[in-house]
Amino acid sequence: MEIIKLRDDYIKLGQALKASGLAESGADAKHAIEEGLVSVNGETAYQRGKKLVDGDTISYRGQVVKIEKP
């Protein structure tokens, strides 16, 4: 499981996918989210701008990323 450390109070889903390396670009992240391939805390997410906070998890292509405060 990869961990993303928050710099602010939240990170948007599309940004988190790019920061974790699960998506190479914003366009890749957008398409994956729109196609229903990404889940947040076990539920399919369709909003690229969804705010992720400390404790949230992202699942995509069998990989899991956890959001944490430093």
pLDDT tens profile 9-50: 999 999 999 999 999 999 999 999 999 999 999 999 999 999
Q: What is the pLDDT of residue 15?
A: 96
Q: What is the pLDDT of residue 47?
A: 96
Best CA proximity match to 37, nearest among 55, 29, 20, 10 = 29
Q: What is the pLDDT of residue 66?
A: 98
Q: So what CATH class is 2-68?
A: alpha beta
How far, in Å, CA of 27 to CA of 14, rounded? 9
pTM (whole model) above 0.75: yes
